[in-house]
């Protein structure tokens, strides 16, 4: 029994000395905690077991970089900065079509000339001529065409007899009875605005030789 007590005391002394020595011994630096990466598991693969991820390696301590002086600016730009892009070659263009320009034509200008005054328009004497005639069958009458005779004025002319409408052709129908003469009014108009008129006496070119019976 005393031996066990001595053994326990000895062991206590040994443990006390060992604890004192352990307290005086230099402590090792605490290990740097390692960063862990948690893998992202998509929802579709939630049922699959996650693949083993390699442990992150311990980040090596980096030394602070010494400040560097900025490089001196040079006046000459770098070749990359001065290089200008080469423009693409121009596309072939169709030569413009020449549009003919209208050459103004010279308009002749009317030069005033001395226009002689028109002579007075006059109907002569007797102022007519019988062109053709024929007796009317079974009647003491004759019929035909007469033409007016006049001078002066400017053509074209218009004429009329017996107050009829003016006409361009100077050939008028005439009809009268017996072999006596007949009065008729004649009118003539010229292009220059003149108007002449006259009462004519047209003599009969024919006299019946016998009196028709009623």
Domains of the chain by residue range: 122-202
User: Would you give the DSSP letter of residue 63?
Assistant: P
- The phi, psi pair for 80, rounded to 5°, reads -65, -35
For 77-124, write each residue's pLDDT tens digit.
Answer: 454 445 566 766 666 666 566 665 665 565 655 544 454 567 999 999
**Three-state secondary structure call for residue 206:** coil
Residue 30 confidence (pLDDT): 54
**Are 184 and 199 spatial neighbours (Cβ–Cβ below 8 Å)?**
yes
Residue 132 confidence (pLDDT): 95
d(CA 152, CA 140): 38
For 59-81, write each residue's pLDDT tens digit.
Answer: 444 555 555 554 454 555 454 44
Higher pLDDT, 31 or 148: 148
CATH of 122-202, one of 1.10.357, 1.10.600, 1.10.3470, 2.60.40: 2.60.40
Residue 54, pLDDT > 70, answer: no
Q: What is the pTM of this model?
A: 0.44
For 177-202, write each residue's pLDDT tens digit.
Answer: 878 888 999 999 999 999 999 999 99
């Amino acid at each position: 029994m005393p031996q066990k007590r001595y053994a326990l005391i000895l062991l206590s002394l040994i443990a006390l000395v060992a604890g004192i020595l352990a307290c005086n011994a230099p402590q090792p630096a605490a290990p740097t905690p390692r960063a862990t990466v948690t893998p992202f598991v998509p929802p579709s693969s939630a049922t699959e077991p996650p693949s083993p991820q390699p442990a992150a390696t311990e980040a090596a301590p980096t030394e602070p970089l010494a400040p560097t002086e900025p490089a001196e600016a040079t006046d000459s730009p770098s070749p990359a900065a001065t290089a200008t892009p080469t423009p693409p070659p121009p596309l072939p263009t169709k030569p413009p079509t020449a549009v003919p320009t209208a050459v103004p034509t010279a308009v002749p200008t009317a030069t005033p000339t001395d226009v002689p005054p028109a002579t007075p328009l006059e109907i002569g004497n007797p102022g007519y001529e019988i062109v053709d005639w024929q007796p009317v069958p079974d009647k003491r009458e004759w019929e035909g065409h007469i033409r007016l005779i006049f001078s002066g004025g400017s053509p074209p002319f218009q004429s009329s007899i017996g107050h009829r409408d003016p006409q361009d052709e100077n050939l008028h129908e005439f009809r009268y009875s017996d072999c006596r003469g007949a009065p008729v009014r004649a009118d003539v108009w010229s292009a220059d605005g003149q108007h002449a008129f006259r009462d004519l006496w047209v003599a009969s070119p024919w006299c019946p030789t016998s009196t028709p019976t009623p």
